[in-house]
Structure 1
Amino acid sequence: METRHLGRWAAQALVAGSMLGIGIFIAPPVVATHVQSPLWFLLLWVAGGLAALCGALCVAELGAMMPRAGGEYPYLRAAYGPGIAFATGWLQLLATFPGSLATMAVGTAAFQLPVLLGPSFAAPVDLGLVTVEGPTFWAIALVLALTGLNHVGIVLSGRVQLVLTVVPLAVLLAVSLFVVGDIGTVEVSREALRVGLDPGPSAFAVAQAYLSIYFAYSGWNAAIYIGGEIADPGRNLPRAVVGGTLMVAILYFVLCAGYLSVFDIDKLAGVGEAGTAAAGALFGHAGVIAVTLMILLAMLGSINGTVMAGSRIAYAMAEQGHCIPAAGRLSARFGTPVVALWLQAALATALILSHRFEQLMDYAAAAMLISGSLAVASVIVLRRKDPEHPRPYRLGFYPWAPLVYVGSSVFVLGALAAKGDLSVLMAAGWFGLALLLHALVVAPRLR
């Protein structure tokens, strides 16, 4: 898949659009519940943005070094060998991308669509043989519709992605700056921040909060999944990854400051979906409709970007004999990995039908932490293992950027695993099972 149609701005829109999803509207109340301190709330969002930027800097070097389809899979194979690459690829195939798609689609169908189209939109849907809850039905419909869009071509999907990213990003940033810039609300926020750091939350509470923040920031590596389709990847891919991540990190901080300008920390913890709730408190019904429409566009952009990026995992794995051969085939008409696309849609649909919203978010985030940490650490491994390989972009904050990212991820995973967190144990279990499968079945067959 080496037809390079996408330029810098389309790739940057993919990164920003993949990041700007349901997380920034759903995660803040969850974070507020765990930390219960405005200052800790903002500090954790800053820490999440810093970690995402560190990760983006690392994958920018990797992506420019090996601009291929499949995301982290080629780097992991080069750094650690086929076993780790196989296990990580299957973790992403079964958990990371289907879990992200399911979470975003369910959140959109449960929160945004009923506001815009009326409460009847959330009513159960009778399909004849079975009745499905409204949000479940429309979440599946969203996944299938955007998978269909990606089926018919990367260029069309990239253009749609650009529109679905730029419009809501600009409007939401403008609204947030307006809210934070108001003198009265700034005074409220400053008063709230005087609560300070004492008493601070426990390590477990910080880890739980960070897991939700990590999900909100996920997508900073989206462009590397279509590295084989980006024009002049040595220049455009690093700019897209770092530029898109920085844009969204700034927006997230402004949005979170805006939430604290509207709600105190206890009320924020109970609002459910922060974006619509803040719009209602500030602007009334008309504001709710306008802001919800922008959130919906952002959600569609995030789902579309995730569909586009995630399908390239199965494609890259199939090329190495690590997935069903059909996943590596391209459509003769559209040049897209159609089997990989619809396999991903089927897995996301299964998760939508079998999990609750917060379970989906935590499950996807835990899987991302594992795969993301291995990918970022591969910068260090490959600098030692293959120092002569051409690197069009070299990470400037080496080795601090990978150490910050991996260190924060290990802290969160360790704190949650110590408390028996189910999402971390499930993700780690899938990873371990895939390693065992590779050692006992796949490796002997490929020798």
Structure 2
Amino acid sequence: MDEENIRKRSSVQEPDELSVKGKKSKSMNLQKEVGLISGICVIVGTVIGSGIFISPKSVLANVGAVGPCLVIWAACGVLATLGALCFAELGTMITKSGAEYPYLMEAFGPIPAYLFSWTSLLVIKPSSFAIICLSFANYASAPFYPGCEPPIIVIKCLATAAIVVITLVNSLSVKLASYVQNFFTAAKMVIVVIIVVSGIVLLAKGNTQNFNNSFDGPPLSVGTISLAFYNGLWAYDGWNQLNYITEELKDPHRNLPLSIVIGIPLVTVSYILINISYFTVMTSTELLQSQAVAVTFGDRVLYPASWIVPLFVAFSTIGAANGSCFTAGRLVYVAGREGHMLKVLSYISIKRFTPAPAIIFHAAIAIIYVIPGDINTLINYFSFAVWIFYGLTVLGLIVMRFTRKDWGRPIRVPFIIPIIVIIVSIMLVLAPIISAPELPYLYCVLFILGGLGFYTLFIHFKFSWAQKISKPITMHLQMLLEVVPPEGVTE
């Protein structure tokens, strides 16, 4: 049976026609099942993950004092909000899932969009997924190895298991994935509240000595400030995640901007208060010497209930991983639908109405990163690559203000906002190269540009031998996974 026969067997009449034996036809597309509360939870649940438990030490190391550290955390929140507002205009103007991908397609054409999908599918999204799951594995295994670091093999296996479970959940049901996201978002807010309330209580008791002369520190430079932003923004990454599932949002013109305006400021306030709480029990030197800042905080404040901290940090990271998987799978789905990846990646499960092939592909690449991967190396690759495309996407917003004047814009941000985001993006991309030039940044650039070769061979010229190879692969995967193109199926 060839692929065309499978399509014929899976397709039905148009929705306005009567189906055979009274069965109702349902459009074979992603369903609008994500409301305002779930949208806020996707943002909060994806952003608050491992970053706030890893980045405080790196931010402080670059600025050297409590005051500038807190300013950096606030500024990162402002930048994330500005970037998200730019994406809100794009998301309500172009109501397609995939975030940067369809925006770059409309602004600059297929080549930049393909380079983004190429880089995102093979570097940005799976490396982020791998980083979060490795962080989860570190915190989840720590209580079982008191006084020493968990074996690497245990961390790798646990991270891989987390990827498999999260992939299974997201492949089975959009509603199930949303419920899981909501639960872990609630769970991670518990540990956020515990840390914040504990810090406020300690401040009320007069533990303010670590805030004396809080701006006394080493002189700051553009390089150190940029690197501090680099680490802080890793903790905020995920501010654009809701744009990846625009097609599944109920009333996106209302719920997309509302989710952003509520979700990101909520994260910013939480991050600032968490850092203040850290400094109520640790001096700058003690925080820099801590192996795990949140665990040190728990040992000093919550003993003998300090076990709560690693448990809920694990909840936080697994929730962020679920949100990352949920949104990244949609990017693969959109790229496949546009013909920039194997067509089977745009197919949807007949029974589950989820982009199962896209989700599974994303997970497989993430596992490849987990096996030899190191968290710090993966963060460097991720951050450098992602801000290239953040800046390019916001530049596309400015370009379309002139080239797509007649398009409806339910949200229109002031012109200065995208300008600020573009300038900061350029600084963030150039800062690590200028401050500490390393070969990995060159490799990353070469890898991005290497996508041009694949685009030329497989997309532009569409070599016949490539079609002959992909056709049987698509057919067998379609039968194995029980998926069909975004057409019609009978309920």
Q: TM-score, normalised by structure 1?
A: 0.91
> What amino acid is the match of 1:356?
D
Task: Quickly say closer, same or farther: Cα 1:78–1:121, change in 2 above 3 A.
Answer: farther
Structure 1 match to 2:412: 394
Structure 2 match to 1:206: 225
Structure 2 match to 1:432: 449
Q: Which one of 298, 301, 310 corresponds to residue 316 of structure 2?
A: 298
TM-superposed deviation, 1:206: 2.6
TM-superposed deviation, 1:378: 1.9
Q: Matched residue of 1:4: which SS? A: coil
Contact 1:179 1:185 in 2 (8 A): no
Contact 1:63 1:238 in 2 (8 A): no
- Larger helix share, 1 or 2: 1
Establish whether residue 188 from structure 1 lines up as the match of residue 204 from structure 2: no
Alignment of 1:95-174 (within 5 A): 95-115=123-143, 117=144, 119=146, 133-174=153-194
Alignment of 1:249-288 (within 5 A): 249-286=268-305, 288=306
> What amino acid is the match of 1:48?
C
Task: Quickly say closer, same or farther: Cα 1:310–1:121, change in 2 above 3 A.
Answer: farther
Structure 2 match to 1:346: 364
* Number of matched pairs: 433
TM-superposed deviation, 1:121: 11
Whole-angstrom distance in 2 between the partners of 1:378 and 1:78: 8
Contact 1:35 1:41 in 2 (8 A): yes
TM-superposed deviation, 1:190: 2.2
> What amino acid is the match of 1:266?
T
Contact 2:397 2:418 in 1 (8 A): yes
TM-superposed deviation, 1:240: 1.4
Contact 1:84 1:435 in 2 (8 A): no
Establish whether residue 41 from structure 1 lines up as the match of residue 69 from structure 2: yes
| Per-residue CA distance 1:292-328 (angstroms, 9 max, x = gap) | 2222221111000000001111111111111111111
TM-superposed deviation, 1:263: 1.4
| Per-residue CA distance 1:113-151 (angstroms, 9 max, x = gap) | 322x55599765xxxxxxx71001101110111011001
Whole-angstrom distance in 2 between the partners of 1:39 and 1:10: 35
Contact 1:121 1:134 in 2 (8 A): no
TM-superposed deviation, 1:174: 4.8
Alignment of 1:16-95 (within 5 A): 16-95=44-123
Q: Which runs of 5+ in 2 are unaligned?
A: 1-28, 464-491
Q: TM-score, normalised by structure 2?
A: 0.83
Contact 2:30 2:353 in 1 (8 A): no
Establish whether residue 367 from structure 1 lines up as the match of residue 395 from structure 2: no
| Per-residue CA distance 1:249-290 (angstroms, 9 max, x = gap) | 11111111111222112221221322121111212231x212
Q: Which one of 252, 255, 259 corresponds to residue 236 of structure 1?
A: 255
Q: Matched residue of 1:285: which SS? A: coil
Contact 1:192 1:264 in 2 (8 A): no
Whole-angstrom distance in 2 between the partners of 1:110 and 1:363: 20
Q: Radius of gyration: which is bigger?
A: 2
Establish whether residue 416 from structure 1 lines up as the match of residue 429 from structure 2: no
TM-superposed deviation, 1:428: 2.5
TM-superposed deviation, 1:184: 4.6
Q: Which one of 423, 443, 446 corresponds to residue 460 of structure 2?
A: 443
Whole-angstrom distance in 2 between the partners of 1:385 and 1:283: 57
> What amino acid is the match of 1:283?
L
| Per-residue CA distance 1:35-79 (angstroms, 9 max, x = gap) | 222222112111211110111111111111222221211111001
Structure 2 match to 1:127: none
TM-superposed deviation, 1:156: 1.0
Establish whether residue 406 from structure 1 lines up as the match of residue 422 from structure 2: yes
Task: Quickly say closer, same or farther: Cα 1:284–1:337, change in 2 above 3 A.
Answer: same
TM-superposed deviation, 1:400: 2.0
TM-superposed deviation, 1:291: 2.4
Whole-angstrom distance in 1 between the partners of 2:154 and 2:191: 29
| Per-residue CA distance 1:219-241 (angstroms, 9 max, x = gap) | 11111111111111111111112
> What amino acid is the match of 2:210?
S
Structure 1 match to 2:16: none
Mean Cα displacement is larger for which, 359-368 or 338-347?
Answer: 359-368
Q: Matched residue of 1:105: which SS? A: helix
Q: Matched residue of 1:284: which SS? A: coil
Q: Which one of 382, 385, 390 corresponds to residue 400 of structure 2?
A: 382
| Per-residue CA distance 1:66-109 (angstroms, 9 max, x = gap) | 22221211111001110000001111111111111111111111
Q: Which runs of 5+ in 1 are unaligned?
A: 125-131
Identical-pair percentage = 26
Contact 2:210 2:280 in 1 (8 A): yes
Task: Quickly say closer, same or farther: Cα 1:3–1:413, change in 2 above 3 A.
Answer: same
